[in-house]
Structure 1
Amino acid sequence: MDDLPEQQTRTMHLIREHPDFQLHLGFDACCTCGKAFSSAAFAMTCPGCHRVKYCSESCRQKDSEAISLTNLADVGQEEEMDSAMGHSSVMCALLRCCQDDEVVKDNESPTDMDRKRVQAARDRIQSELESYPATLANVISEGPCYQSVLRLKASTTKTLIVHVVGASDDAELWDLSKDGGSDNVFVAYTEALSDLATSRGLDVIKLVFVGPDCPDTNVDVRKSFQSFENPKAIFGELQIQTLKGLYNEDRLDQHGLQKPDIVIFFNPGFTVPEYSWNEALASIEKGTPFLSTTNTELEGVADCQYLMEQDKIETIPPGLAHIFDLCSEGNEETDDEGSPGTGTAFFSVNPFSGSRIRQSGTLANDIFVKNRWILGGILNSFDLSKANSDTSSKRRRAASDSKFNNPALI
């Protein structure tokens, strides 16, 4: 997937020709020429993946021939991007995986798929679910911005409190409300966090999931950590609590929740205009380490830009500093104690993302993997005095890299 071109570039000529272009290529418009379908009945579907639509056989042929398997190695080069129109054999195979996964998700034992394909789809679906506890546990364990908190908790209360903000029943909580769902999700988080508790000398790790799509009935459970080497040895406890509703100060006070040591946002979409994160972010104490995941690199960049413009992050991850064109002054690495600074922030590919491939709802040839990118740092006030004198104008220009202003940011 990393070698495939970004298919968002394919809409640019259509947007230039039609400024009010709002069609979704491959869904309600031909994937090749952009012609709108007068009726779904007139659309021609790709016979391989059954997910991409064309207005005619000639357009289907033209699109499928745009990239051959022989030049995939060069697809990242600039000269290949213009011709990378998209529905190659590789793309078709990936979208066919999307189709299999959705069929198996809706029907555990579909009769029109062989056993090998069904099992492969189940494995991909499971890997995506396991990505949430694996990412949470491993990134917190290794991320530079969390080390001072972990050391402090190990030497004082021996209790780590983590709030997962914007959690939902069908993502972080694995369909918890369904029969048997609780056993799977609780075991997964317990196993994932056992090593963190053991290695850092923590007696309790408390996960609080808060979101409007959490289960209607608040869940409050306790699970014992066990050693992989000696399953009979019990050395600590995982506490899991769910709260249905928006994350804000009133809800936290209402349920008497302790302030979080770390906050997690799985695919929050900070820049999506339909949502507002101001109230949630305002209720988090300054200086709290955070972890955010996104499905695409562009979304991660947009989320980082949003947090910077809201003065919610004190430093910019080194890999993104050049994008915002901030001067290096004041962005030095921190000491080993993990005090806030550039050295504690990070932005990178997530090695713990799953293998399930999903299809964008905007462009039929766009694909992504959930939790593919991770952004971490410390929620604090960004010191604008350390930036270049013309940073403000550059930040305004960079504001175009938002989902609201740039349709390519899906």
Structure 2
Amino acid sequence: MEAAQILLSEVPESIHILTKEGESRVQKNEGLCPGIDCCAACALQIDDPVVCPICKRVEYCSQKHLKSDLESHSLVCPVLCLINKLEAHEVKQVDLLRFYKLIRQSTKAKTFIPMDGWPLDRLTASSEGEEGLKVESTAHPKKKQKVLKKSTSEGSPLSSTITLPRLLSLARCSSFLTYPLTLCYFLTAVPNLAARLQRKWQANQRATVAVIGASSDAELFWPKAWRLLDGFLEGPLQLVFIGPEVDVDKATASFDDSDGRLSESIHLSFFCEEASSSSPSSSTSKLQTALKNVDCLLAFNPGFTCPDYDWSSGMEAIQRACCQSESKTPPPPPPLFVSTNTTMESLLDSEWLGERGWIAAGAAHANPMAPLRLLQSGTLANDIYRKNAYVSCYVHRDSLPKNRAEGKGGKGARKQEGDTKKDGDRKKAGKRVRK
């Protein structure tokens, strides 16, 4: 059951360790990716690297550095071996549809509780003819294996007849189902959000959730998956997907209703543009209308501080659109829910948002609906992560009572921002994590 144990365990962060020489090389050339295009220990680039003989995913400049890195690499070597299997496993549409139907049945029967995690007992039961679970040992030579942190899904027992193909399929498919199920988690775990939507429904209005920074490869890989929300709604919901990587034609072609109706309760609309666009196009006008009085904003792995994106003007435009009003007193911005891959990214996002008036309602915590699939970092080969692993909720200073806004968003907040800016090491570390 080693594969199952790995997939159900928490991901230890920041495993990768560089030598002082390696740190110096990376500081001089931030484009280096230790263990991927240079030595995992010293960041030296060579033409014929030594590769870990077990996982074959981490490279070194010499056998000496391979052995010296054994203590940290042995923690993730079995995980990287499983990642090899996950990448080689073909995801079939029939598998995605099967898991979707099983979860949908559970949501309709009110037996699926997102905060309890994936209903693994139902999802991993084997079908007739499937091969039994056989996972070869991936123990690193001459190094006793340490177990990853304890399972986060102890409340969801695995079927005794679990098969490796079924487990790999579930892990891959969970990467696509995590997006709607994370919103299901918010709807059930955040009373203020549920109450906000209830007020709309009691007034016979459609509630609206805007997914910002969406893309066709992630949130909209399979738009029909958002029907999983049906079991958690007591009224109509409009889902607005915004982002320069939204393929509107592909998204709308995935279901028959040209009006964007996904089910009796759910309507979808798509906007392939940056929210900061100042062009007076009809699409921009429709986007502003769609965002008027939106009930919550949702951002999956937005990378607010990533140098590849410029979120500043976009967030300002989104905030303005959400607060449109004909009255002299516009409504306050809606709550913002953010998912990140790591706790470091959560800290950096919190600082960035705090500078723009968004206050964290609490510390980032593990997302029970994070996908089971594990991924290797693209910059530090010994680091692994899950998408949407951590979630946070933010409220804007303008939405708080005056005394609370001053207490959390005034001098105290500015001092805290000043303190965090002094912490250069954390900024540098976060930058490498995001890549």
Structure-2 change in CA distance of 1:399 and 1:143 (3 Å): farther
Q: Distance in 2 between matches of 1:17 and 1:130?
A: 40
More strand by share: 1
Would you say 1:60 and 2:60 are equivalent positions? no
Residue 142 (structure 1) shift? 2.0
Would you say 1:240 and 2:281 are equivalent positions? no
Tell me the amino acid that sits aligned with residue 370 of structure 1: K
Structure-2 change in CA distance of 1:13 and 1:305 (3 Å): farther
Structure-2 change in CA distance of 1:357 and 1:390 (3 Å): closer
Question: Aligned runs of 1:2-401 on 2, under 5 Å?
Answer: 2=10, 4=12, 6-10=14-18, 14-16=22-24, 19-22=27-30, 23-37=32-46, 39=47, 42-64=48-70, 66=71, 86-88=72-74, 90-105=75-90, 117-174=164-221, 176=222, 185-186=223-224, 188-191=225-228, 193-197=229-233, 201-202=234-235, 204-217=236-249, 219=252, 220=258, 221-224=260-263, 236-248=264-276, 250=278, 251-255=283-287, 256-259=289-292, 260-283=294-317, 284=319, 285=323, 286-311=332-357, 313=358, 315-319=359-363, 347-381=364-398, 383=406, 384-385=409-410, 387=412, 390-391=415-416, 393-398=418-423, 401=426
Q: What's the CA shift string for 1:94-135, capped at 9, x where partnerless?
A: 1122222222358999xxxx9955443222111121111100
Q: Distance in 2 between matches of 1:6 and 1:189?
A: 33
Structure-2 change in CA distance of 1:367 and 1:12 (3 Å): farther
Report SS of the residue matched to 1:206.
strand
Q: Distance in 1 between matches of 2:268 and 2:304?
A: 25
Unmatched runs of 5 consecutive residues or more in structure 1? 67-85, 177-184, 225-235, 320-346
Residue 349 (structure 1) shift? 0.9
Q: Percent identity?
A: 25
Q: Assess if the C-alpha contact under 8 Å between 1:8 and 1:366 holds in 2.
A: yes
CA RMSD across the alignment: 3.1
Q: What's the CA shift string for 1:374-402, capped at 9, x where partnerless?
A: 01122344643362784453243257644
Residue 303 (structure 1) shift? 0.4
Unmatched runs of 5 consecutive residues or more in structure 2? 1-8, 96-133, 136-162, 253-257, 324-331, 399-404
Q: TM-score of the superposition, structure 2-length normalised?
A: 0.67
Q: What's the CA shift string for 1:32-87, capped at 9, x where partnerless?
A: 343222x2xx12222222211122333333333x2xxxxxxxxxxxxxxxxxxx21
Tell me the amino acid that sits aligned with residue 393 of structure 1: G
Q: Assess if the C-alpha contact under 8 Å between 2:367 and 2:391 holds in 1.
A: yes
Query: How many pairs does the alignment contain?
Result: 328
Q: Distance in 2 between matches of 1:274 and 1:12?
A: 28
Tell me the amino acid that sits aligned with residue 368 of structure 2: P
Q: TM-score of the superposition, structure 1-length normalised?
A: 0.71
Report SS of the residue matched to 1:352.
coil
Q: Assess if the C-alpha contact under 8 Å between 1:402 and 1:409 holds in 2.
A: no
Q: Which residue of 1 aligns with 2:110?
A: none
Residue 318 (structure 1) shift? 3.9
